[in-house]
Amino acid sequence: MPSVVGVMSRRGEDVSNSIAEMLSTLKHRGSFYAGAAIGDEVVFSKNANTIDFQGCEGFAAVGYNGFEKLETAYQPLIDCTGNLYGVLDGRVFNSQELMKNLTTHDVDASVEGAVLLHSVEEEKKNLLDSVSSVLQRVDGVYAFAVKRNDTVALARDPVGVRSLYWGENDSVFAFASERKALWKIRVDRVETFPPGNVGVISSKKREVYPALLLKKPPECELGLNTVATELGKVLIKAVQKRVEGLDEIGLLFSGGVDSALIAKALKDLTGSIQLFTAGVEGAHDVAVAEKAATSLQLSINIKTISPEEIEQILPRVAYLVEEWDLMKVGVALPLFIACKEALSRGFRTLLAGQGSDELFAGYNRYLRTLRREGYEAVNTELWKDLLETHRVNLSRDSAVAAANGLELLLPYLDLKVINLAVSLPAQYKIEGGSDRLRKRVLRKAAELQGVPKEIANIPKKAVQYSSGADKAIRRLAKARGYGSVENYLRSVFNNVFKGFPAAP
């Protein structure tokens, strides 16, 4: 996944140095080239560290680090009028449908960012209304920014699958795919850009407007088996549109019901996929994943890692996660290892089961909530967690995948899957206070799709524990003489971000 960045001076000063610093900081998200639109010029470089803005000045700029090897797809993209410059980290699944309104435009239909940019041009309205209007027709996941003269509009998909942050200091407004790019240029007031919104930045202010927010659908009244059958169909379609046109397909695989259901769908759709899992030597996930892959008759790549190797990797993971939170680092570690293994085998795209737990009550705490407060409280907690998953989970996973040159695709966070899941009564997810398996309807859907029952009913175990990462980090903290694991991780964080003036 590439990076998008942008900066706007609040004082009418040149921002070329700032945009260059941001692109250099995020070069791990697109090592093939860097590009920026500043003023009325567009500049490209094969090396983000040496992008040359000589002769180019402006107090508004957008930039991009990319992996594209076809120069016609280089970003920033330019519209037919030469007035709009756009950058996109994301996918537009219905770009062919959007092309129907662009018959008079000079646009490459295979370049999804170009389709989005020219759709904004076609609206012929102010930037806010144009972008907001286009988003009503887009089926996709995206962090998208458009510059027109000295105004920038930015947007994020309704779930927040693609990461985006923005902030300000006394000199500039700025945005980026990762916080570190903002910290590097001394932006100390950094916020997560809200999903489903459009932001508008000028030299005077930055404002945000709701455009495509998630909404709760009416409660479904169909029976469990009927719903489970429909869920299987909707999920298969979500998988299918994400893998269309891909030659090689990989899947992050834990052996649990979430990834097993995606694996079965991929096998039925394509016939050939590769599974990837990672963990500490002797970890629960490794054994479970290997057994499940054998049962599904699929090839699996298992990468195990020693505690000594974890200590070497930990600073890199902390740099990507941008926090010293044990849970986030513990989840990111096996993901980083699996992504690195996938890249070494030539994969650039991985599917994953993220989002399922927040939709189908996968975590044990939902069972505790049911016992204490009842089903309505479970529904409330699930909805809140879905709205927060961009901040709690998705930005972390996006950064880890992007650092390995990979795109992460998440079928469970397709809007049709979300709408169906949210409409279901909580009883379809947890069958009473003794249901330790949870995810009742998803497990039924998996069985109906042909996933072996012993896999469909594997208990949920949090990845930081099942991979062995949590225990390994705690042991490292103790071995290095730290009184707490939090102090150890804070020390690692401070060390890797010591050259970032605004890092917290």
- Please indicate, yes or no, whether residues 185 and 263 belong to a single structural domain of this protein: no
Residue 159's alpha-carbon distances to 212, 388, 391, in angstroms, are: 10, 9, 10
* CB contact at 8 A, 290 and 302: yes
Instruction: Supply the pLDDT for residue 237.
Output: 98
User: Are 162 and 268 found together in one domain?
Assistant: no
Tens-digit pLDDT profile for residues 153-193? 999 999 999 999 999 999 999 999 999 999 999 999 999 99
Reference 419, options 234, 257, 241; nearest CA is: 234
Domain assignment of residue 417, yes or no: yes
pLDDT of residue 329 exceeding 90: yes
Name the token pair of 467: 């991979």
**Residue 219 falls inside a structural domain:** no
Q: Are 187 and 280 members of one domain?
A: no
Collect all residues with Cβ–Cβ distance below 8 Å to 215 and sequence separation of at least 6. Answer: none
Are 299 and 342 contacting, i.e. CB atoms less than 8 angstroms apart? no
Query: pLDDT class for 49, splitting at 50, 70, 90?
Result: confident
502 part of a folded domain: no
**Predicted confidence band of residue 116 (pLDDT cuts 50, 70, 90):** very high
Quote the CA–CA distance of 221 and 227 in Å, as a whole number.
9
* Mean pLDDT of all residues in 337-344: 96
Q: Give mean pLDDT, residues 430-458.
A: 97
The 10s digit of each residue's pLDDT in 77-104 is 999 999 999 999 999 999 999 999 999 9
Asked whether the CA dihedral 398, 27, 330, 179 is positive or negative, the reply is: negative
Cα 30 to its chain centre, rounded Å, is 15
246 and 109 share one domain: no
Residue among 184, 118, 165, 131 at smallest CA distance from 502: 184
| pLDDT at residue 479 in the model | 96
Nearby residues of 199 by Cβ (< 8 Å), 6 or more positions away: 153, 154, 155, 166, 175, 193, 206, 207, 208, 209
394 near 332, Cβ under 8 Å? no
Region 225-251: mean pLDDT is 95
350-365: per-residue pLDDT in tens? 999 999 999 999 999 9
Q: What is the pTM of this model?
A: 0.96
In this predicted structure, what is the pLDDT of residue 271? 84
Cβ(438)–Cβ(429) below 8 Å: yes
- C-alpha dihedral over 143, 148, 153, 155, to 10 degrees? -30
Torsion angle of alpha carbons 165, 157, 118, 102, nearest 10°? 180
Are 70 and 202 in a shared domain? yes
Number of domains in the chain: 2
Which domain does 161 fall in, by range?
3-210
CATH number at residue 308: 3.40.50.620
| Portion of the chain with pLDDT greater than 90, in percent | 90
Report which secondary-structure segment, H or E, holds 128.
helix 127-135
23: in domain = yes
What is the predicted pLDDT for the residue at 72? 77
| Tens-place pLDDT, residues 189-224 | 999 999 999 999 999 999 999 999 999 999 999 999
What is the C-alpha separation between 311 and 278, in angstroms, rounded?
A: 16
The pair of three-digit structure tokens given for residue 332, joined into one six-digit string: 């990111």
- Decide if pLDDT at 285 tops 90: no
For residue 377, with 0-12 CB atoms within 10 Å meaning exposed, 13-18 middle and 19 or more buried, which class applies? middle
Rounded alpha-carbon distances, angstroms, from residue 234 to 45, 319, 392, 417, 442 = 42, 37, 25, 6, 12
Residues 108 and 233 in one domain: no
